[in-house]
Chain A
Amino acid sequence: MNGQPAIQVRDLHKRFGDLHAVKGISFTVPAGQIFSLLGPNGAGKSTTISILSCLLQPTSGDALVMGHSVQREPMAVKAAIGVVPQEIALYEDLSARENLDFWGKMVGLRGAALRQRVDEVLEIIGLADRQKGRVAKFSGGMKRRLNIGIALLHRPQVIIMDEPTVGIDPQTRRNILDSVKELNRQGMTVLYTTHYMEEAQELSDQIAIMDQGRIIAQGTHQDLVQIVGELDRVDLTLNALPDWVTDRWQQIPGVQKVIVGAPSHPQATDGERTVTLLVDDSNLVLPRLFESATQAGVRITSVTIQEPNLEAVFLHLTGRALRDE
């Protein structure tokens, strides 16, 4: 790899008419790493991925993949990347093997080399014994595996995965995350987009948090958590919420931020309100919160305390929750 970064993005902009989808982002992905773009829907992740996959031209700026410009050398970039789209982009009336054969030809494989690589990929994705089955009859998990397998056919140096776990069951999701780690162990650089902070946290060597077309924070998981320091996140569910209560909570020493109605708490029911607080020490702050609530005649129906995580970072930086988007 000669120490060359796998991906370099430089002041990348993309406009769709009046919509400024990507607003001058820059980041570098060293070869052999898993790099996650984390952000809510509409943050600009997919647009960025589309530019890196040569599906869209940037309005300005550039991106280099294995040293090749997506604008000037798109064919070289395509040869270096394998793209796993969010959707199951397969031909359902063809068999698994026929799909791999076709996509293999599209990336330039022929003859014996194609047959051999298809056999290898079928083994990797665990579909060797189902290779003649029609994809339409596959389970969701099998389709996902085949969807990933197609991206591996030409042994790309970089795998780009666009939210590959959206809308799938936990078991399939687990399989995909394990596959990503395995591919990375084999030396592939992985650019992974997600709006699940747990995935970014588990997989990534580096994470860039995107919001509204910008990268608002970037670094390792530890780097990012440092942004919120040792803050605890406290999620409360209440039966009512007068304004003056949140004003009073804001005055309590140790409370850094109060966000009303942010992440919907799993236990919240109709008519209940949720409040999220970032606090220095939840043990010290919680009694004061209960005291104020009691004085206001408000009942706290549930409390959740979380250690600092990427969700808290996003909340801290944007005032909004990742999953609210």
Chain B
Amino acid sequence: MRILDLTIKDLRQLVRDWKTALFLVIMPILFTLLFGFAFGGFGGGAQDPRLPVGFIDQDRSSSSASLLRLLDQSGTLRPVLLEGQEADPERAERKVQAGDLAAVVIVPASYGDRLLAGEMIPLRVLLDESEPAGLTARREIQTAALRLAGAAEIARLSAQAYEAQARFADGLARRQFLAEAVDRAIQAWQEPPLTMLKTESKAMEANPIMQSGFSHASPSMMVQFSIAGLIGAATILVSERKSRALRRLLTTAISRPQIILGHYLAMFLMIIIQFVILIAFGQLLGVPYLRQPLAVALVMAATAAWTAALGLLIGVLAKTEEQTIIYSLIPMFVLSGVGGAWVPLEFTSQTFQTIGHLLPTAWAMDGFENLVIRGLGIESVLQPVAIMSAYAVGLFALAAWRFRFE
């Protein structure tokens, strides 16, 4: 019971300190919004990331339509069909100069006919070669144009082979044959013998927001600011030691282990309360924490367990209130930066990922992201929870060993 009395006293002190609300709730919410928007939150993640390329079709043939499809399928370019006044090349060029378009492809009239006749017809491309986007666009446009030219050559040879045995009824029939042959050639090109399939879980399909920036920003800021929130809790411990109240506690009926546990429990509960608030906020942003509530609770508890133990250690090692700030912010930056709270570890090198997973933050991020980004089940968090629990035990043992009452 005395443990809880001490815990409640600590929590009461924390609530009185305006810095607690700042570090525990306000800053993580602001940074979640900031990083969420930066990584494409509120649908930004669903936005097409490909380079926009203007497409002015002066030919309006099946070949120009094929070229448009090839560009669209490039994976890098997003063709934007320019029509009406927008199709004015000068106007389109101004858009390139303004950076609204990476390039503009102008398909000249009779492009299709001449291509199928075996002529190499140059496309007019407007782009800024001093821009990386322009260079990328040029390379992709060249590839698409060469692929179309190859398909047209195959179609032409096929028509010749056909004509060697039979005759087309008329010119229209020949053009239809050639158009179909071009499409088949392009289609054959797109169906290589080896096919890589990318599958996504049904949970991901059901909730497209999982791909949004908040799915990473929400758990990452939660983990990061749980460490920042330790400043207040550790300061209480330091102040208690400095005022000799901690020493005075030893003259009462509470024992040393109870004092350590009481302070630890206060930090643990403080972080749990912080997580509940931030998870509710994340849920409002569409991060699907409640899809696996039990698994989220496990990750939350394990993360709070090691973070609270770290807070206890900071309170033990720091001699002054100023030191608690330094001792909290340094691990916050290191653990967050290297542990994947700022940049997902999947985007880093294998070596960096290995180093990152030496830190508990990486396992906390794995646990949360397995649930809210990868759409996995409770079994996916068991390993992260086990490893974080081991960290919690180690850090707590270290803090208890070094605990000073004066």
Chain A residues within 8 Å of B, Cβ to Cβ: 53-55, 75, 78-79, 81, 83, 85-94, 98, 102-103, 105-108, 150
Q: Is the CB of B5 within 8 A of A105?
A: yes
Flag whether B251 is at the interface (Cβ < 8 A).
yes
Q: Is the CB of B243 within 8 A of A83?
A: no
Contact residues in B for A79 (Cβ distance below 8 Å): 253
A89, A93, A98, A108: the one within 8 Å of B248 (CB):
A89
Task: Please list the 7 inter-chain residue pairs (A to B) with the smallest Cβ-Cβ separation, ordered nearest first.
Answer: A106-B252, A89-B248, A87-B244, A83-B251, A105-B5, A89-B245, A89-B244
Q: Is the CB of A90 within 8 A of B2?
A: no
Q: Is the CB of B5 within 8 A of A85?
A: no
Flag whether B9 is at the interface (Cβ < 8 A).
yes
Closest to B254 in A: A106
Q: Is the CB of A91 within 8 A of B248?
A: no
* Shortest distance from the beta carbon of B288 to any chain A beta carbon, whole Å: 39
Q: Is the CB of B250 within 8 A of A54?
A: yes
Flag whether B202 is at the interface (Cβ < 8 A).
no
How far is B252's CA from A88's CA once the two chains are assembled, in angstroms? 16
Flag whether B94 is at the interface (Cβ < 8 A).
no
Q: Is the CB of B9 within 8 A of A107?
A: no
Q: Is the CB of A106 within 8 A of B2?
A: yes
Q: List 28 A-B contacts (CB under 8 A).
A: A53-B251, A54-B251, A55-B247, A78-B252, A78-B253, A79-B253, A81-B251, A85-B248, A86-B244, A87-B244, A88-B243, A89-B243, A89-B245, A89-B248, A90-B243, A91-B9, A91-B13, A92-B239, A92-B243, A93-B13, A93-B16, A94-B9, A94-B13, A98-B12, A102-B5, A106-B6, A106-B252, A107-B253
Flag whether B249 is at the interface (Cβ < 8 A).
yes
Contact residues in B for A85 (Cβ distance below 8 Å): 244, 247-248
Known: A55-B251, A78-B251. 9 other contacts (CB 8 A): A83-B248, A83-B251, A85-B244, A91-B9, A91-B13, A105-B1, A106-B253, A106-B254, A107-B252
How far is B12's CA from A179's CA once the two chains are assembled, in angstroms? 31
How far is B1's CA from A178's CA once the two chains are assembled, in angstroms? 36
Within 8 A of A (CB), among B235-275: 239-240, 243-245, 247-254
- How many chain B residues touch the partner (CB < 8 A)? 22
Contact with A along B185-228 (1 / 0, CB 8 A): 00000000000000000000000000000000000000000000
Chain B residues within 8 Å of A, Cβ to Cβ: 1-2, 5-6, 9, 12-13, 16-17, 239-240, 243-245, 247-254
Contact residues in B for A91 (Cβ distance below 8 Å): 9, 13, 240, 243, 245
Contact residues in A for B250 (Cβ distance below 8 Å): 53-55
Contact residues in A for B239 (Cβ distance below 8 Å): 92
Given contacts A78-B253, A91-B13, A94-B9, contact A105 B247 (CB under 8 A): no
* Shortest distance from the beta carbon of B17 to any chain A beta carbon, whole Å: 7
Contact residues in B for A103 (Cβ distance below 8 Å): 252
Q: Is the CB of A106 within 8 A of B5?
A: yes
Contact residues in B for A108 (Cβ distance below 8 Å): 253
Contact residues in A for B245 (Cβ distance below 8 Å): 89-91
Closest to A75 in B: B253
Closest to B16 in A: A93
Residue among B13, B243, B251, B253 with most chain A CB within 10 A: B251
How far is B253's CA from A91's CA once the two chains are assembled, in angstroms? 18
Closest to A147 in B: B248
